[in-house]
Every structure is written in C-alpha cells, then in structure tokens.
C-alpha cells in the first residue's frame, strides 16, 4: 500500500512523470547499458531497444502501477504484475538486477525533470518503484521455485524442422542431456537464446505450438522477421541435429488458468495462431467436450500456419468449430472450417456470453477485436490477450 506521505506527491506528479516517460526511459536504457553492457548479452533485446518498444513498455507499467495504487488503495494490479513476472522469469531476471534498474532509472528521471525532482518527489517515486519491484520479486521467486531444475537455460537438440504457412517454420526439440525438465502449459512459451551474427547472445520468446505439457519434447513455430536478429538465425542457420538453449516454460495466459467447462473462444491473426494451436492440441489430447470456437484472420488458407494440426485438433473435439476470415477465400472450404472473405467480424457469429476469450495477434488486431467483442455484448472481464514482445497495449 502506498504510504499517506507519498500519496499526495504521486497524485500531484503522476501526470508529469507520465508525460516525460518517453524521454526518461530511452535515456535510462542507454545509461544502464553503458554501465552494464553484460545485460545486452542474453537478457535485454537489442531490437526492442532500437525500436523503442521496451522503453514504452517500461514507462507504461510503472505509471499504470502508480495509478493503480492511487485508485485502488490496499491492492496490487495482479494481472499486470503476473504478465511482467512471467516475461522476466523467461529471461532469467533476478532480484540482484532490480537495484541496477533503480539506480539508472532514477538517474534518468533526475536528468529529464531536473529541479522538479525534490527530495519528497524522489522519495515518493522510490516507494512506488520498490513496491512494484518487491511484488515482482516475490512472484518471480515463486515461479522459479516451480521449475523442475535450477537452471535458467538447458540444451535442446533440434530433431525436426518443418515449414508451415507463410514464412513460418516449426521446430521440434528433444533434451540434449538428462537435466529434469519442467512441464509446459498450453498457451505458454519458452525463450530461445542463441548467438547472432556479431557473437552477442539474444533471447526471444516463442509460443509452444504443440505438445505443450510434454517434458521430453518442445515444439515452437517461428515466423520469419526479415528485419529481426533471432528468427532469421533460427530459420536460416539452425538445422536438425543442432543444439540450442531454451528456457523453462512460462506464460500467464494458459489453458490451465481457464475454467474447464466454460465455452472458450480463441480469436487470432497471423502467427498469433500458435498458442491457440497448442490449446486446441491439448484439449483434443484430453478428449475434452468443451465448446471451443476458433476465429482466425489471415491472408489466405495457404498462409495459415499449423493449419493441418489445427483442423485435426478441431475434428477430435465434439464441440469444436472454426471460422477463418481470409483476404482470399479458397474455392472450397477445408473440411470442418468455414471461411469468410474480409476482416474479422461477429455479425453472424454466435458468441457465448458465459465464455472465456483469448486474443493473440498484432496489437491493432487485438485492440479492434476486443472493441468488437465488447460491442457484441461480451463482458470486458472475460477477454484476455497474449502479446508477443513488450506489452505496448499496457503502455498505452
């Protein structure tokens, strides 16, 4: 809980800090990486530094946390903290790194706001930072304690490499040694860490796309980002037989978190179909009789990643159904799938009012889809989303 001493200071300065966060966070990162270049080797993403997404996400999370403390005294934004904590543990963030972030962030705040950062302002925002940091550290320690091993990274061997959809590849891994492995969850993800062209290690999270709960196999599906650092190395350089590093599985938007009997609607676009494919696969393996509806948007049927796996899973679900919104429809609908030409809409879709909804895809798609679902009568509290990379929706 925010102290009574700090509350009026945060109320008076929250808008100013929020306004200047776009200046503060890039300065903070530059200063921190100059002092601690090791953090760019296998922890922070250089790509997200260059495009500013990490800075936006950090700014948004701190300000959102502060506003929550003001508007909801005595509580914490559990959903926000859980999302961040899962991302952190998938990167191996540890308690000892929080003071480094604090030192450099507050240096940047002082540089940008100057004399406006009085001792009272500094103390109040220090309290906000450590309330958030301590809450995250507690959640992250709990997540780490659930691992089947005490290692951040373990070696996995590529046993298959299969093209799927438009510019995507499915990688299948098996453990390269006898390290005990953690069970994944459908909807979750793992981090991949590998050396890029200049020898620096970079990490990216990829959804488990099949056999999510296995401890002896990992399956991820990667779409080529031609301007990226990691996906081109994976798709173009990593071959069957190679060994690469994977994290333990994490993720806060998973099937295990869902009510096992409530109807489930998965609304996805593009490569956002990967966590939905894992959820459908797991439900099919469980013999679930749950009502499940997949709504997916893509350029064409041929562009849909994992389309064979998805249709097989839907065929095994007695109450599974799918509707695809495509830029170009096939001449004949694939078996078990209804296709519609154009962008996703719900004009003639029967949406369960008591259902749970999971969105995954480009940010603009998820924002638009969430608005359409709410307009159609779906409660906002029933809608969750999985976002790849820094959470810019939270930042907004």
Asked if 105 and 99 count as a contact pair (C-beta separation under 8 A), the reply is: no
Pairwise CA distance, residues 167 & 237, whole Å: 15
Spatial CB neighbours of 291, under 8 Å, sequence gap ≥ 6: 263, 264, 319, 352, 355
Ramachandran region, residue 377 (left: φ > 0; alpha: ψ -120 to 50; beta: rest): left
Q: Tokens 């696969």 belong to which residue?
A: 281
Q: Please list, residue by residue across 22-37, b when 16 or more beta carbons sit within 10 angstroms of its beta carbon and e when fewer do.
A: ebbbbbbbebbbeebe
Catalytic residue among 29, 98, 129, 357: 98
Task: Tell me if residue 140 is catalytic.
Answer: yes
Q: Per-residue DSSP letters for 241-309?
A: T-EEEEEPPB-SS-GGGS-SSS-EEEEEEGGGHHHHHHHHHHHHHHT----EEEEEEEEETTT-TTHHH
Burial of 192 (C-beta count, 10 Å sphere; 0-12/13-18/19+): buried
Q: Choose, from 127, 129, 140, 229, the residue flagged as catalytic.
A: 140
Residues 6+ apart with CB under 8 A from 216: 174, 175, 181
CA distances for 51 relative to 46, 48, 111, 333, 384, angstroms: 9, 5, 22, 40, 25
- φ and ψ at residue 156, rounded to 5 degrees: -130, 140
Distance CA 333, CA 319 (A): 19
Q: Which residues are catalytic?
A: 98, 140
């Amino acid at each position: 809980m925010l102290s009574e001493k700090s509350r009026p200071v945060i109320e008076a300065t929250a808008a100013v800090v929020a306004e200047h966060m776009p200046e503060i966070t890039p300065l903070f990162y530059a200063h921190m990486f100059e002092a601690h270049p090791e953090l760019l080797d296998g922890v922070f993403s250089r790509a997200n530094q260059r495009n500013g997404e990490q800075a936006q996400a950090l700014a948004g999370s701190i300000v959102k946390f502060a506003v929550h403390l003001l508007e909801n005294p005595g509580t914490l934004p559990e959903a926000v903290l859980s999302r961040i904590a899962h991302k952190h543990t998938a990167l191996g963030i540890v308690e000892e790194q929080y003071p480094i972030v604090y030192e450099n962030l507050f240096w940047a705040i002082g540089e940008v706001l100057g004399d406006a950062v009085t001792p009272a302002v500094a103390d109040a925002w220090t309290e906000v930072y450590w309330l958030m940091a301590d809450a995250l550290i507690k959640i992250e320690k709990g997540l780490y304690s659930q691992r089947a091993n005490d290692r951040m990274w373990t070696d996995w061997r590529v046993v298959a490499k299969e093209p799927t959809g438009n510019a995507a590849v499915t990688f299948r891994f098996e453990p390269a040694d006898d390290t005990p492995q953690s069970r994944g969850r459908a909807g979750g993800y793992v981090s991949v860490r590998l050396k890029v062209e200049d020898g620096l290690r970079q990490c990216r999270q990829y959804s488990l796309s099949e056999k999510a709960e296995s401890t002896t196999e990992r399956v991820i599906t990667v779409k080529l980002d031609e301007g990226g650092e990691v996906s081109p190395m994976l798709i173009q350089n990593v071959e069957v037989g190679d060994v690469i590093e994977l994290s333990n599985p994490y993720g806060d938007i998973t099937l295990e978190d869902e009510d096992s009997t409530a109807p489930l609607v998965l609304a996805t676009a593009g490569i956002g179909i990967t966590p939905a494919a894992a959820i459908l696969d797991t439900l099919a393996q469980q013999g679930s009789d749950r009502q499940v509806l997949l709504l997916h948007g893509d350029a064409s049927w041929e562009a849909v990643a994992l389309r064979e796996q998805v249709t097989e899973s839907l065929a095994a679900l007695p109450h599974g159904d799918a509707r695809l919104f495509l830029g170009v429809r096939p001449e004949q609908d694939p078996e078990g799938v209804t296709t519609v030409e154009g962008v996703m809409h719900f004009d003639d879709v029967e949406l369960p009012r008591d259902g749970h909804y999971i969105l995954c895809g480009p940010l603009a798609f998820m924002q638009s889809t969430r608005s359409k679902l709410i307009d159609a009568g779906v409660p906002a509290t029933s809608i969750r989303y999985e976002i790849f990379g820094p959470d810019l929706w939270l930042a907004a």
